[in-house]
Structure 1
Amino acid sequence: MFAIVGYVNTLIEIYTYMLIAYVLLSWLPSAKESFIGEILGKLCEPYLSIFRRFIPPIAGVIDISPIVALIALRFVGQGIAAVLLFFIK
């Protein structure tokens, strides 16, 4: 049963790295249209769009929604792990 918590933590960590890669690719316009950029866009953009609806860019340029999304992802991952560990014991 502890393996399930490990799998959940691993999936959260993989998605975190995918979000970071997607944000870094957004700095390079040509990289976002690449094959990997399109796949990451399809996987990350639905999650990021939730936060972009509520958090406007600072000065119209700096988008801090990915930072808030990463923090929220960490909290949700820790919450899921805590709930799973509660039911295991």
Structure 2
Amino acid sequence: MLTILGLLNLLLRALEFIIVIWVLMSWLPGAQQSSLGQLLGRISGLILNPLRRFIPVIGIIDLTPLVGLILLQAAEMGLQAIARTMI
């Protein structure tokens, strides 16, 4: 059971990393339109697109990645708490 929680924790960290890289790519012209950028956009969209229904864009600032990272961190902390109770 701890292995499954460890794998889920690893998956959450990978999603966080993907979102951060995708956001940083938005600062570089054309980076998000590259094949790597499109792949990262599809993967991060799994988390960010549902959030975009509830979080409006403020001017040109999209706060959805920040909220997504906070939610992933909360899920990670929850998994760690569950893992601690199982030991």
Instruction: With the length of structure 2 as denominator, give the TM-score of the two structures.
Output: 0.82
Residue 24 of structure 2: aligned partner:
24
Gaps of 5+ in 2: none
Are 1:66 and 2:71 an aligned pair? no
Q: Point out the structure with the larger helix share.
A: 1
What is the percentage of aligned positions where both structures have the same residue?
38
Partners of 2:67 and 2:10 lie apart in 1 by 20
Moved over 6 A (4+): none
Aligned residues: 87
**1:35-88 per-position Cα deviation (integer Å, ceiling 9, x unaligned):** 110110111112101211111111x211111101100100011112222332x2
Residue 44 of structure 2: aligned partner:
44
Alignment RMSD, CA only? 1.8
| Alignment check: 8 A CA contact 1:8 1:81 kept | no
Residue 13 of structure 2: aligned partner:
13
Letter in 1 for 2:30: S
